[in-house]
């Protein structure tokens, strides 16, 4: 495996290997000295064409924990604003001899295009409304830590599924491991996915009954057209997660969110900060998972 551009094409065995390796790296992160020399001498460039706090910070810290040389590409101060094409930009960066390219782009398929045109390993940090593979991996890792298995769990994914690359990567991953997936949201924001065994609920209360995991999604204002739902007030009233609704799920249900959260729109503050919320654990686990992905890509490229 040279690249990680999506979950859809990743086998169960590869996913298990990544999650097992992440578990080892999480132990490293608990030490006083949290840095390992695993990728010393390697160079990575972070190409973020869209704003990001958690993912960009998580990748950069993971890269530094692995002792890599890190380059951060700033779009507003680059030749992209002068009209340089994506192809020319990546070929220029490749000429510096980078080993990894981490890319987030608003266009679905941009990481796949780059992976076909460079020798460096490419990692998809989110492409348009297509996929966000490392988020799905860290979500699976976080669920496994709490529940021990994915098989048979009732996992409710709630909100703007239509525009969510996080939801799509999670659906691909959870389907491979036998989870019972429920999609909950307004009819305008829940697309048909007939290739997967999924239950769809337009009523939040009905969809949350006996859920083991509630995965809330951010309403992506920047990708919204007009008419998906009447107002944010109306949205929270119908599909927001508050304490009353949380009690409809199993008593030991966990609450997840990929961030950034819109408190009071998709989730209430008392739920986000409750003991059932593992949102900050997801952030911590993302570091270990991204270390594992880069470590394994390097290992496999050396064995190829």
H runs (alpha helix) in the chain? 12-28, 54-65, 86-94, 110-117, 133-147, 165-176, 204-208, 232-239, 243-246, 269-272, 279-303
- List the catalytic residue out of 55, 89, 163, 245: 55
Query: Is 104 an active-site residue?
Result: yes
Catalytic residue among 132, 147, 257, 290: 132
- Of the candidates 26, 104, 245, 298, the residue annotated as catalytic is 104
Active-site residue (options: 2, 8, 14, 54): 54
User: According to the annotation, is 260 in a ligand binding site?
Assistant: yes
Q: Is 218 annotated as a binding residue?
A: yes
Quote the tokens at residue 259: 């961030």
C-alpha torsion sign, points 10, 133, 119, 38? negative
In contact, 234 and 204? CB cutoff 8 Å: no
Cβ 70 vs Cβ 48: under 8 Å? no
CA 259 to the chain's CA centroid: 10
Residues 30, 31, 82, 251: which is the catalytic one? 82
Beta bridge partners of 199: 182
For residue 216, the number of C-alpha atoms closer than 13 Å in the C-beta half-sphere is: 31
263 is in an annotated binding site: no
Could you tell me which of 96, 111, 194, 206 has the C-alpha nearest to residue 156? 206
244 annotated as ligand-binding: no
Please check if 165 is assigned to a binding site: yes
Q: Is 54 annotated as a binding residue?
A: yes
Instruction: Specify whether 82 is catalytic.
Output: yes
For the annotated catalytic residues, the residue numbers are: 54-55, 82, 104, 132
- Residue list for the binding site: 54-55, 82, 104, 132, 135, 165, 218, 259-260
- Residue list for the binding site for carbamoyl phosphate: 54-55, 104, 132, 135, 259-260
- Residue list for the binding site for L-aspartate: 82, 165, 218
């Amino acid at each position: 495996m040279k690249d990680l551009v999506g979950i859809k094409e990743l086998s169960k065995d590869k996913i298990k290997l990544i999650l097992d390796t992440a578990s080892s790296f999480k132990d490293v992160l608990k030490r006083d000295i949290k840095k390992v020399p695993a990728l010393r001498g390697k160079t990575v460039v972070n190409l973020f064409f869209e704003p990001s706090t958690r993912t960009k910070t998580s990748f950069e810290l993971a890269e530094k924990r692995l002792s890599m040389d890190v380059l951060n590409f700033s779009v507003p101060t680059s030749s992209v604003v002068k009209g340089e094409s994506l192809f020319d930009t990546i070929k220029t960066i490749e000429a510096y001899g980078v080993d990894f390219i981490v890319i987030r782009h608003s266009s679905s398929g941009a990481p796949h295009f780059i992976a076909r045109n460079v020798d460096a390993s490419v990692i998809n940090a989110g492409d348009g409304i297509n996929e966000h593979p490392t988020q799905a991996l860290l979500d699976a890792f976080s669920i496994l830590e709490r529940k021990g298995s994915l098989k048979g769990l009732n996992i409710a994914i709630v909100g703007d599924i239509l525009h969510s690359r996080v939801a799509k990567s999670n659906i691909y991953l959870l389907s491979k491991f036998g989870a019972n997936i429920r999609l909950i949201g307004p009819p305008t924001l829940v697309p048909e996915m007939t290739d997967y065994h999924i239950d769809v609920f337009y009523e939040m209360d009905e969809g949350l009954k006996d859920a083991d995991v509630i995965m809330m999604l951010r309403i992506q204002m920047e990708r919204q057209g007009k008419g998906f739902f009447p107002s944010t007030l109306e949205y929270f009233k119908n599909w927001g997660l508050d304490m009353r609704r949380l009690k409809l799920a199993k008593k030991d249900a966990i609450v997840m969110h990929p961030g950034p959260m819109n408190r009071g729109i998709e989730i209430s503050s008392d739920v986000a900060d409750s003991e059932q919320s593992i949102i900050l654990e997801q952030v911590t686990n993302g570091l270990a998972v991204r270390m594992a992905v880069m470590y394994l890509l390097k290992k496999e490229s050396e064995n190829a």
